[in-house]
Structure 1
């Protein structure tokens, strides 16, 4: 019988502070109408004092464990996707491990920006399928507010902070689990979406920079292509999909991708209006939101997909 990685539970966490477009417009040269028309974003959560990538990740992980009916001691692998770690090193995953009270397990970070959760999912699923792990926490967590240029209205209005987590459990046979994953990267597009700092160059954290129109064009093409690719690898088609859980970057990207695939818009989980772009956290955060409000149910066929700086992009077909 084949060994599969099955989603046993999910959880998410958001900072306490919630900022509306109107509140943002008090300090940034923008307006609610301008932001909503171009992005679909209405609110975002911003981390305050004492709230970090690790604390948000830990809260999301605890909720995922509760949903799975599992104890932290059951976990033997933590893969955490983030572009905003608490420290340059050690890995934020090890801080989560310690906070959960796990004495020993494999724990490391992956960095593929907004696609990070898909990369982390692929690594954890591969390790489970190969027998290298049995119960894994896969987490996406970010505090992008700390690398934003709050004087650049074209970028600072787009992002928020948060975390999402899933527990992957090894199961033998059955229909549920991760069916296929497709990942890609093309480093030629580095200067379209990047941070202008780093330890080995400027010795500073830096700020996020983006050429929005160019990113938009690549996103629609790449996301539609990788979604089709991952379904084909699983022997499935768009008509088989119950829900697409996409990276929540921009409502116009979500709508354009759905149109390109001839996918009914009501099958696309949308949370960008409430959370903005939370980078690696956005897919698991959107997934957990839709599970908890009853839209996503056991047995549904899901496609996770994302694209981020690099460029990196990917998708996963999952029977929940």
Structure 2
């Protein structure tokens, strides 16, 4: 009987564009104060792609870093999955653009569209692909957003939260007892109108009227989305722990989508999660959508001193509406992280924290 292959994370890479907008600048455009933004969202800075940078450019940087961190060659990548809500164009897939930029000529390239849940949905695609493969191989899963191209800077409900960035993971075979387990994904299309870009698709093609109406910008029902998060995040965490027969104390790091640091910390506290075990990066990068959970996972690896055998609970949720969770037993992957809000935006390695600091 053939043993079931275990698939885990072998390397992580992230990229933030060089442009930065702080709360003072965002507040002026949105007609609020920097204090208002900080108190309600917890976001301090957000990175912004340049006029000549597309989602694929950001993703390519993250993919290169992840491949380097994993210690493999780009020619070893057999699958490249890109999760994004802000593609370079409606077609072809942004993954094909990324494939060309990084030279992953052997890789099958495809996109997954699940909004802020996209990276975990894409990881499940790669996980199943690799488990069904007849030979060893590697997959790269990259989440990326260039939200700034689709924001109305005067809309305080979106401009204060959303930002640009990319995070990539290399998936491949890991030792027994490590890797991903218990993926659970869900969707509810009856709530698709809560967060969307209404114009530019086949339902509402681009036209002078749609541009004048701002239909190519992100529209969000903030209150309804907040209610959705307050319901779904605690449920995802408690149900995942119950299925695994684990408690909060058994999880080294809780890695969630990062919609709003204030809300995330509040819900974590209500669930009894110690602050040092809840990874929060939204304060330094904002909501980077499909990249945010992978970015937070990279931060957990690079800054929180994750060690082989540590359990990580991954939870995501986003437009659609979509949601998901997975349990990841860490196998010792390295991460290359940029310095947030750095003028250069250059990716640099961060040393691992010597102390675990996870108790």
- Does the pair score TM above 0.5? yes
User: 1:232 and 1:87 mapped to 2: Cα distance?
Assistant: 42
Contact 2:49 2:146 in 1 (8 A): yes
* Match of residue 152, structure 1, among 129, 152, 155: 155
TM superposition shift of 1:262? 2.2
Give the CA RMSD over aligned residues: 1.6
TM superposition shift of 1:16? 0.3
1:253-272 map, 5 Å:
253-272=263-282
Task: For residue 105 of structure 2, give the secondary structure of its aligned residue in structure 1.
Answer: coil
Alignment correspondent of 1:140: 143
User: 2:129 and 2:259 mapped to 1: Cα distance?
Assistant: 29
**TM score, norm. by length of structure 2:** 0.85
User: 1:43 and 1:20 mapped to 2: Cα distance?
Assistant: 5
* Match of residue 285, structure 2, among 275, 279, 285: 275
Residues paired across the two proteins, number: 319
TM superposition shift of 1:200? 0.5
* Match of residue 229, structure 2, among 195, 219, 224: 219
Alignment correspondent of 1:100: 102
Contact 2:27 2:37 in 1 (8 A): no
Alignment correspondent of 2:170: 167
TM superposition shift of 1:26? 3.2
User: 1:153 and 1:282 mapped to 2: Cα distance?
Assistant: 20
User: 1:58 and 1:140 mapped to 2: Cα distance?
Assistant: 11
Alignment correspondent of 1:68: 70
Structure 2 alignment gaps of length 5 or more: 207-214, 331-359
**TM score, norm. by length of structure 1:** 0.95
Alignment correspondent of 1:16: 18
Structure 1 alignment gaps of length 5 or more: none
TM superposition shift of 1:118? 1.1
| Residue 314 (structure 1) aligned with residue 324 (structure 2) | yes
User: 1:12 and 1:103 mapped to 2: Cα distance?
Assistant: 21
Kindly provide the CA deviation profile for residues 43-64 of structure 1, in whole angstroms up to 9, marking residues without a partner as x: 0001102221101111000000
TM superposition shift of 1:260? 3.9
User: 1:189 and 1:139 mapped to 2: Cα distance?
Assistant: 26
Who wins on radius of gyration, i.e. which is larger? 2
Contact 1:179 1:234 in 2 (8 A): no
| Residue 247 (structure 1) aligned with residue 250 (structure 2) | no
